[in-house]
Amino acid sequence: MKKWYKQVYFNRRSWILEYFDKLNLNAEECMVILLIDFAKETKRKIDYDYFLNKLKMNKKEFDKVLANLVAKHYINVNSNDKGISFDIDNIFDFDPERYEVSANKDVYDLTSDILAKPLSPNQIQKVNDLVEKYGENKYKDALRIAEAYNKRALDYIEGVLRNEKK
């Protein structure tokens, strides 16, 4: 059976536009996702030049946008003898209903939910340190990534934050 987002009746671009703010995408990141989806639907070849021409960006700017999307696990980039391929299916793993519930929770409750247990005093201190070092929004993004990959460890969340900073 096809995944829900691959069904003929599902409008992927409408869904992306509906939730791009909750997906924590900026305008450039959203446009890259939409261009990839459009190119795949219309069977167009997509490469760096395609993006650079459409987005009126230089290569360095585009690399930064692409790196952010890869770090958020929304895009997989693969290269082979035919060129570069982009896959955005991971973006559809995001659950907007769950986001609405989590938007009203603080980082401690969210972390407790991800870890599936109450936080110890040491874990609370670790969360404090991570939020102070990386910021609350980046910390919440790392929580979403950990949840998407079903990784229920504070060390994994910290690893996501460290890797994103690189």
Domain interval for residue 153: 96-165
- Please tell me the total count of domains within the chain: 2
Q: Tokens 């201190």 appear where? A: 125
Provide the percentage of residues in the chain whose pLDDT is more than 90: 15
Residues 112 and 85 both lie in one domain: no
Q: Mean pLDDT over all residues of the chain?
A: 83
Half-sphere exposure of 19 (CA within 13 A, CB side): 17
Residues 10 and 67 both lie in one domain: yes
What's the rounded mean pLDDT across residues 108-116?
85
pLDDT at 8: 67
Answer with the one of 64, 93, 122 that is the final residue of a domain.
93
Answer with the one of 74, 93, 112 that is the final residue of a domain.
93
Q: Give me the phi and psi of 65, to 5 degrees please.
A: -65, -45
pLDDT greater than 80 at residue 148:
no
Residues 18 and 60 both lie in one domain: yes
CATH number at residue 25: 1.10.10.10
Residues 116 and 156 both lie in one domain: yes
* Band of pLDDT at residue 101, cut at 50, 70 and 90: very low
pTM of the model: 0.59
DSSP letters along the chain, please?
A: ---GGGSTT--HHHHHHHHTTTTT--HHHHHHHHHHHHHHHTT----HHHHHHHHT--HHHHHHHHHHHHHTTS-EEEEETTEEEEE-GGGGG--HHHHHHHHTS-HHHHHHHHHTSPPPHHHHHHHHHHHHHH-HHHHHHHHHHHHHTT---HHHHHHHHHHHH-
pLDDT at 95: 65
Residues 62 and 103 both lie in one domain: no
What's the rounded mean pLDDT across residues 107-130?
88
Instruction: Pick the more confident residue, 147 or 99.
Output: 147
pLDDT tens digits, one per residue of 154-166: 999 999 898 876 6
Measured at the CA of 104, the angle between CA 165 and CA 128, to 5 degrees, comes to 45
